[in-house]
Amino acid sequence: MTKADIIAQIADETGLERLEVQKTVESFMSVVKKNMADGNDVFLRGFGSFIVKKRAEKTGRNISKNQTIIIPAHNIPAFKPAKVFVEEVKNKVAVK
């Protein structure tokens, strides 16, 4: 499912114009990205959490040059689904 598919489905279900739904979805994504870039987690009860995971500095290898490199500490975005979300997906997939 693409963003366009999501917008179309929300517009069909709510009766709102697609342009309004698109602005809302874009705004939602922008707010989530901005808050995560600022180091804040975003919690959506019953859906899940968009969290910032911190990765420690580590040693890696560039195998093409046979060279050891240092990978600096960094943050990565992650999503942790809520328990009800996980259960719903488990039950739907198991039925198929």
Within 13 Å and on the Cβ side, how many CA atoms surround 29? 9
Query: Quick one: 31 and 62 in the same domain?
Result: no
The 10s digit of each residue's pLDDT in 28-56 is 999 999 999 999 999 999 999 999 999 99
Integer angstrom CA distances of residue 66 from 37, 58, 59, 71, 75: 34, 17, 13, 15, 27
Cβ-Cβ contacts under 8 Å for 57 (sequence gap 6 or more): 70, 71, 72, 73
Specify the number of domains making up the chain: 2
49 and 68 inside one domain: yes
Range of the domain at 60: 41-96
Please state the pTM of the whole predicted model. Answer: 0.78
- Render pLDDT for 6-26 as a digit per residue (tens, 0 to 9): 999 999 999 999 999 999 999
CATH value at residue 45:
4.10.520.10
